[in-house]
Amino acid sequence: MLSADQLKQYEEQGYVILEQLFSNEEMDRVRSIIDVFDMESEEALKQKGKGFIAIPNQINFTSNLARRHEDLERFIGDQRFVDLTTTVLGPDIRLYWDQSVYKRPEAKRDFPWHQDNGYVPTDPVEYMTCWLALDDATIENGCIWIQPQSHLQGFVEHKKTDVGWQCYFGEDPGQPVPLRKGSMVIFYSLLFHRSTPNQSKDTRKAYVIQYSVEGTKNPDTGVIFDNGPLIAVGGKAVIV
Ligand SMILES: O=C(O)CCC(=O)C(=O)O
């Protein structure tokens, strides 16, 4: 799944882009399931008002999707994810977290620079984030931006802002990661990333899927994470 060069790039730069890993048909199927969950949670968000990171009519995060729909559970346990994650992380892999991120045309602010570990601490600290474009993600519609090699700094302090945790306040704009529908960027959970405003007329739709080694725990509580299914044991797929 990953060539030796890609694995080297992952280790050294902190990310790898996988072009058109999934077909348009697969993306249409996955997106149409997620659209329904997003619509429900967007309605709830509108009733409740702004959360910490979710803002009605702007940016919505809908989580634990694989636990809520068997087609999505099969999707996140697909052999392609098993190959990728076991190559990078090891033989026994669990879905750590999954969420859709729908950024609407009214989203006029950055989702700020952060490491995914800035939201919840993990032991071991590294896990893998897969940011999958359910439709084309462009600079115009608010694709993510990364700072290559930033994972090499290890975990850095985050400050709470009114739109999310933030770990970088400097001038480096980073590198945009526009992705065609069905393409995916995989990166270290420690890699600095952000997304920019959506200046298009359409909602930018992503599925963020994160994997960790089985037994990963919260170092503050000692509790082992169980937010999603096991997808590989001894390097072999569990969900068929
Ligand atoms: O998709 C986005 O706009 C940002 C999502 C993100 O950075 C995350 O889920 O960690």
Q: Report pLDDT digits (tens) over 61-106.
A: 999 999 999 999 999 999 999 999 999 999 999 999 999 999 999 8
Is residue 82 within a helix (H) or strand (E), and if so which, with residue range?
helix 79-88
Q: Are 229 and 73 in contact (CB under 8 A)?
A: yes
Residue 205: pLDDT over 80: yes
* SS3 call for 230: strand
Protein residue with least CA distance to atom 1, ligand 1: 101
Among candidate residues 45, 90, 95, the one with its CA nearest the CA of residue 75: 95
Length of the chain: 240
Query: Is the per-residue pLDDT at 107 higher than 80?
Result: no
Radius of gyration of the chain (CA): 17
- Name the band, by pLDDT with cuts 50, 70 and 90, for residue 240: confident
Ligand 1 proximal residues by C-beta, below 6 Å: 101, 103, 111, 116, 144, 193, 195, 206, 208
From 164, 66, 184, select the one nearest 116 (Cα to Cα): 164
**Residue identifier of the C-alpha nearest atom 2 of ligand 1:** 195
Count of alpha carbons within 13 angstroms of residue 64, beta-carbon side: 6
What are 154-202's pLDDT values in tens digits?
999 999 999 999 999 999 999 999 999 999 999 999 999 999 999 999 9
120 by DSSP, 3-state: which?
coil
CA–centroid distance, residue 101 to ligand 1 (Å): 6
Q: How confident is the model over 116-122, as a mean pLDDT?
A: 97
- The residue type at 203: T
Q: For residues 110 and 166, give the distance between their C-alpha atoms in angstroms, rounded to a whole number.
A: 11
Using a pLDDT cut of 70, give the percent of the chain over it. Answer: 100
Please state, in angstroms and rounded to a whole number, the distance separating the CA atoms of residues 81 and 239.
Answer: 11
> What is the end-to-end Cα distance of the chain in Å, rounded?
18
pLDDT tens track for 32-45: 999 999 999 999 99
DSSP-derived pairing of the beta strands 193-195 and 111-114? antiparallel
Of 100, 177, 192, 168, the C-alpha closest to 141 is 177
Nearest CA to ligand 1 atom 6: 194
